Structure formats: C-alpha cells, structure tokens
Structure 1
Amino acid sequence: MSLLRVINLAASYGVSQTLFDVSLEINEGEVLALMGRNGMGKSTTVKCICRMMPSKGDLTFAGQDLHGLPSHHAARLGIGLVPEGRRCFSDLTVAENLTAAARPGEWTQNTVEALFPRLGERARQRAASLSGGEQQMLAIARALMTNPRLLILDEATEGLAPIVRQEIWAAITKLKRETDMAILLIDKSLKELAQVSDRGVILERGASVWMDEMNALSSTVSQKYLGV
C-alpha cells in the first residue's frame, strides 16, 4: 500500500526554480533510495515532503494531502526526519533530546538505547559534548522517538568515521528487517544503498530520471547520473 505519493513535484527558492518534475512513491515497510549528484534537488524534495517549503504537484501521505500543512502537522501524521547536519539540541542532554521528541508508541528511550547502546551510556551528557558519530545516533534516535510511519534520513553517514558508518548502516538494516516502518534514504554510498534499499529514484536537475528496483540499476545509468 502506498504511504507517500509524490507526483510532478515542483518548488522554488524565490524566483529560482529548483524542482521541476519529481515523482516517487514509498509503500508501507519499504526502503527507497533517493539518489543524485549534489545540487540535484534531493534535500529540497525532503523539505517539501516535511512541509518546510511550499511546493506544487501531487503530495500525499497516508492518503492525506500535505499541501497547506505546517511542518509540525506533517510530523504528527508520522513523518520523522533525520536532517542533514544532525541538528541536535546542543544544550540538552541525550535523555532530554529524546524526551523532547517523544510521542506514544513502541519507540521509547529504552528501545532506542537498545538500538544505539552508546546513547544509554551518555544519557546525562550534553549533546554538544558527543562525538559526531554519537550525535548522528542521537539524531536518528530522536526521530524514532516520534514513532514515525516514514523515517527520512538525509545523508546520515556523511563525514563519519568508517566504523561509525558501519554502525549506522547496521541500525538501518535492523530497522528494515524488524519493523514495518517505511524509510527514505539519501546517501552517497551506492554500495550500502543497494544492499538495504528495495527501490530507487534518481534526480537530475530537479526531475526524476530513473525509477526502478535497486537490483535493476545498471552501471551505465549509475555512471551517467551518479558518477563524478
């Protein structure tokens, strides 16, 4: 069943149009990779889905039109965002960051600490004192505390040490395997995306240019739209 449906999405920053024709669809329990080179509209698409900027086109979540909704209403519908750059509440402790986002459901402080044990060890530390990898774990855990139906991860492994990146990918794989949550992934690591994603969408200059099963992504298409 379709959870998120995006058809012919268009958006602009002032007079500068950045999205022209973005289409994608995510089903319940599915992992979708949103791919493309830098500046092709991936993060702008996320902002539109989360209602952080106005847009045009067909944009529905769980059958409800998202246009006109403020971002906090979209979040209450079940859209959880792990933003690029983490954006933890630096002056709050780990536990306070989690409590601030908490909504009723299976994801609690205990369950997110089971996913990321280091957060339990640092529950009383201020977020600002955490390493970059720990802050990323906190950002993911904070989004899970909203008990979303759709989890969006925007460059969740960027800039992290290899061993921490492996921990993040392991957590994403566990979420796919053990929950019915839909996941929208943006990441530069095509190898890991291919391993965990069911389907993929590639953006080029603000438009969807490829949509298919991830195992159908050929080297020719990859080099044309994702290569340096």
Structure 2
Amino acid sequence: MSFLSLQGIEASYGPTQALFGVDLSLEEGAVCALMGRNGMGKSSTVKVICRLLKHSVGQVYFKGRDMAMLPPHKAAQAGMGLVPEGRRCFPNLTVYENLIAAARTGHWDFARVTGLFPRLAERRDQSAASLSGGEQQMLAIGRALMTNPRLLLLDEATEGLAPVVRQEIWAALRILKSETGMALLVVDKSLRDLRQVADSAVILERGATVWAGAIGDVTPAVADQYLGV
C-alpha cells in the first residue's frame, strides 16, 4: 500500500457534495502535485486527508492506517503537517511564538526552520500581523515543519505572492525534497514550477480524479483540457 492512499473519496459540506470520486496515491519521500481549475475539489481533498472534512464514501490510508475515524489532532500526531490556504498564522503572537505553538521534538527546530527561511530569524520578535504576505507564508510553512511531519501538505502556498517570494518558497520545497525525505502534497497552479519539484500529478475536475501519472507526462493537451482557463 502507498504511503498515502485515497480510494473513491466522496465528501460533502452539509447537503452540498464536493467530492465525487477522488483517487490519489503518494509514496514515502515523493512529491505529488494536486492540480485542477478553481473550485474543482483540491482544498476539499486536502481537508479530507487532514480529517478536517469527513468523507462519506471511500477510504483514506496513511502509513497503512485507516484514517476514517481520526479527529484532526490525531491526524497531525500521526505525522501530517498542513500549510493551509490563507496562511492562518496567529496574528497577535510573535514569529517565535507561532513557530513553537505546536512544535514537536525532532529534526525541525527553530534553528533549522530559520536556516531555511532566514527572514523569520530577523523577524523573531515581531507579531505575525506585522509581516508581509510572503513572510507570513514562510511562517506558515515553518510552523508546519516544527510539528516534524512525515507528510507536508501545502494548499496554494505561493498564491498571490510576489514572484521573488514565490521563487524562495519553491527553492525551499526543492530543499525539503532533496535533503529530508519528507513526502509532499502540493496544491498549486504553476505547472512550470511544479515540474521542478514534483514526481507525480493528480488532476481533479468537478470533484473527481480525471488524470493521474508522472508529472512529466502532463502534456500540453492534458494541461489545456484540465488546467487551462
């Protein structure tokens, strides 16, 4: 069984169904790009994996464990780290306080996180609310790393950021892939940037998996059919 496996996932928000059949697999230490146009179910899929949204049909396995009955904090304890859409840093806490809020003992500590993102060391005693959008995104990634996850999920981690900051974050993801052996599930719209870090891709349309394979096999025709505006 894959390190992370989703099979036939269906899920709803109240009476509104959001996922209609999501299949996804990710091997340990690999990087998967989760792609699709806006509103196609990517964030809902991430929420199902992290147990923030319960699925009604299908199976979610992580490290061979059925995740169906676990609450979100148990999923985190099992080794999942989430960088949510919109960052959601604690605005009134300092950078340091944000980083240690949910920290767990392991490889990733304050020194290593600030080695990856030196600006966080410079802003250590500033409130998160005073940071730029890019710095808040670095803080959100650093906070997730401080939980020392085996699987890091990034939901639109470069959305709305300046190009130079986007490239800093992509460079950090390449470091995470090459030096840590951590598995990554990355939701993003930039196929060009994803090609530099991802091994595989899963494309969603209308809440269902419509394409899955190696990232290098995402042809212009596939991109135009499922990712074009």
Superposition TM-score tier, normalisation by shorter sequence: over 0.9
1:33-82 deviations in Å (ceiling 9; x for gaps): 00000000000000111101110211011111111110000000000000
Q: What is the deviation of 1:166?
A: 0.6
Which SS does the other structure have where 2:81 is aligned? strand
Deviations 1:152-179 (A, max 9, x none): 0000000101100010000001101101
Aligned mates of 1:111, 1:19 — CA distance in 2: 37
C-alpha displacement of 1:188: 1.0
Give runs of aligned pairs for residues 114-125 of structure 1, distance below 5 A.
Answer: 114-125=115-126
**Deviation of 1:26 (Å):** 0.7
Question: When the two structures are superposed, what TM-score results if normalisation uses the length of structure 2?
Answer: 0.98
Alpha-carbon offset, residue 101 of structure 1: 1.7
Q: TM-score, normalised by structure 1?
A: 0.99
Structure 1 residues without counterparts, runs of 5 or longer: none
Match of 1:183 in 2: 184
Counterparts of 1:173 and 1:82, CA distance in 2: 16
RMSD of aligned alpha carbons: 0.7
| Identity percentage of aligned residues | 63
Q: 1:107 matched to which residue of 2?
A: 108
Q: Matches of residues 78-89 of structure 1 in structure 2 within 5 Å?
A: 78-89=79-90
Q: Which amino acid aligns with 2:31?
A: V
Instruction: Give the match for residue 166 of structure 1.
Output: 167
Distance 1:166 1:96 in 2: 26
For the residues of structure 2 that align with 1:17 and 1:131, how far apart are their CA atoms?
Answer: 36
1:144-163 equivalences under 5 Å are: 144-163=145-164
Distance 2:58 2:180 in 1: 30
Give unpaired runs (5+ residues) of structure 2: none
Q: Which residue of 1 aligns with 2:63?
A: 62
For residues 168-210 of structure 1, what are the alpha-carbon distances to aligned partners after superposition, in whole Å with 9 as ceiling and x for unaligned? 0000011011011000000111100111100000001011010
Q: Does 1:201 align with 2:202?
A: yes
Equivalence for 2:142: 141
Deviations 1:73-116 (CA, angstroms, capped at 9, x unpaired): 00000000000000000000000001102101000000000000
Aligned length: 228
